[in-house]
Amino acid sequence: MKKRKYGVALSMILAAGTVLAACGSDEEADTGSDEGSTGGGEGTEETSDFKVAMVTDTGGVDDKSFNQSAWEGLQQFGADNGLEEGTDGYTYFQSNNDADYVTNMNTAVRNDFDLVFGIGFLLNQAITDVASQNPDTNFALVDDVSEGDNVASITFKEHEGSFLVGVAAGMATESDQIGFVGGVESDLINKFAAGFQAGVEAVNPDADVQIEFAGDFNDAAGGQQIAASMYGSGIDVIYHAAGGTGNGVFTEAKNLKQQDPDRQVWVIGVDRDQWEEGQVGDDNVTLTSMVKRVDVAVQDISTRAMEGDFPGGEVIEYGIQEEGIAIAESQDNLSQEILDEIANYKQQIVDGEIEVPSTLE
């Protein structure tokens, strides 16, 4: 399978669009699953009959992370191209459980969407099966690789961005005790953990990184419980790659900060800038975030499909060099020394001087 990079197209999209806020509507699809969308903002005067939809994983479209970033990208694409929000233009189908994946995919096909995104590796089997049965519809799988001439596989170099936030964690920690909370243990989430651990070790070889998995991307209570145990053991920085489960990490950190404003307790967000999730009074517990531009990838692939250049059967990978991976723009809690070191390591990664590990082994 071919692997191609589209840095130029990606840069154009980054320069052109502003990200819209995402929230679900009260509308429901005809299936048992939720379908919704929000007001899209003003689009261009030129409209298109192109139709695009996305199917979330169980984290939901408002998970403040991965699915939400994808939906923001779809909203922006719709606004830029004058598409109507809904089944005549662009929309999302929310999955409440694993059984909804195939149901939602088939619903999108029956509604004649030209392109259907599956958001997350958990949808791999569903998108593979439905795509093989519907060769005239294009599909795009985010975060995994699926075979099929009508399927584009979108992947990211999460380990590169995780390395950079690992540098921040290794320099910010006062206890030399650092935590990582993953959602479901998998090759994908191990990429986050491996890059993060390598970044910490690069600047602070004395630090210890404790890695735990919640077994779920939509268990805020479980995430809070793991975070409580970690912070209680002396860990002062936690990086989460856990979707909605990570919301519980923020909850625990904010509770501790509220109880003792002088206590150093940090969370590193994932997928999108999670600065707002860390606000507690006049303080903010978000050290930084590893931003994975799922929104930009969604816009990029949607644009290519609409223009007749859909990369079916290909793997498209977005990393730092392709501007698909970055550190969040919210940097109030990062010292200039940390920012300089991050910039230094970022350049070394781009120049090929550092090869960031993508596996824990």
My answer on whether 27 and 141 are in the same domain is yes
Angle at Cα 114 formed by Cα 108 and Cα 118, nearest 5°? 55
Q: What is the mean pLDDT of the chain?
A: 89
Report pLDDT digits (tens) over 62-81: 888 889 999 999 999 999 99
Reduced to 3 states (helix: H, G, I; strand: E, B; else coil), residue 316 is strand
Instruction: Tell me if 222 sits within 8 A of 243, measured CB to CB.
Output: no
Q: So what's the pLDDT on residue 264?
A: 97
Report pLDDT digits (tens) over 223-250: 999 999 999 999 999 999 998 999 999 9
Query: Does the CA dihedral 41-79-15-21 come out positive or negative?
Result: positive
Q: Mutual orientation of helices 336-350 and 187-203 as an angle, nearest 10°?
A: 120
pLDDT at 32 over 50: no
Pairwise CA distance, residues 45 & 55, whole Å? 28
My answer on whether 272 and 242 are in the same domain is yes
My answer on whether 146 and 259 are in the same domain is no
Predicted model pTM: 0.80
Q: So what's the pLDDT on residue 64?
A: 80
Instruction: List the domain range (segments joined by +) for residue 254.
Output: 158-292+331-350
Q: So what's the pLDDT on residue 46?
A: 52
Pairwise pLDDT comparison (244 vs 108), residue with the higher score: 108
My answer on whether 201 and 89 are in the same domain is no
Q: So what's the pLDDT on residue 47?
A: 56
Pairwise CA distance, residues 162 & 166, whole Å? 6
My answer on whether 21 and 85 are in the same domain is yes
My answer on whether 208 and 276 are in the same domain is yes
My answer on whether 250 and 339 are in the same domain is yes
| CA of residue 330 relative to chain centroid, distance | 17
How many distinct structural domains can be found in the chain?
2
Report pLDDT digits (tens) over 171-198: 999 999 999 999 999 999 999 999 999 9
Q: Mutual orientation of helices 187-203 and 158-172 as an angle, nearest 10°?
A: 40
pLDDT at 91 over 70: yes
> Starting at the edge strand that comes first in sequence, how are the strands of the sheet with 177-182 ordered?
208-213, 177-182, 237-241, 266-271, 286-292, 325-327
